[in-house]
Amino acid sequence: MRAINNFIIIEPIKEEPKKVGGLILTDKLNEDVRYIKANVISVGNETQGVKPNDTIFYDRHAGHDIVHDGKRYKVIRLGDIVVVE
């Protein structure tokens, strides 16, 4: 599987639930977090500044899901990335 043009295939990182004062915050409470952390799987030939295996933060409303070999990935555009670690 390989991305083309300015598309990027990513795998979102499932973060552990956060504890505040001994209480575990559910995913529902984290919906106000705008950016999600992910690993880059493949980048298109028109992308710059991002390469496979980079860790990024992207807009939670960006892209769409795909399933390849039974595994779920997300396809986003280069402009949806806000941070590269």
Go through 46-83 and write b for each residue having 16 or more CB atoms within 10 A of its CB, e for each that does not. ebeeeeeebebbbeeebbeeeeeeeeebbbbbbebbee
pLDDT tens-digit readout, 52-61: 999 999 998 9
Tokens of 65: 């899901």
Q: Class of 7-84 per CATH?
A: mainly beta
Q: What is the pLDDT of residues 25-64, one digit of tens each?
A: 665 555 667 899 999 999 999 999 999 999 999 998 999 9
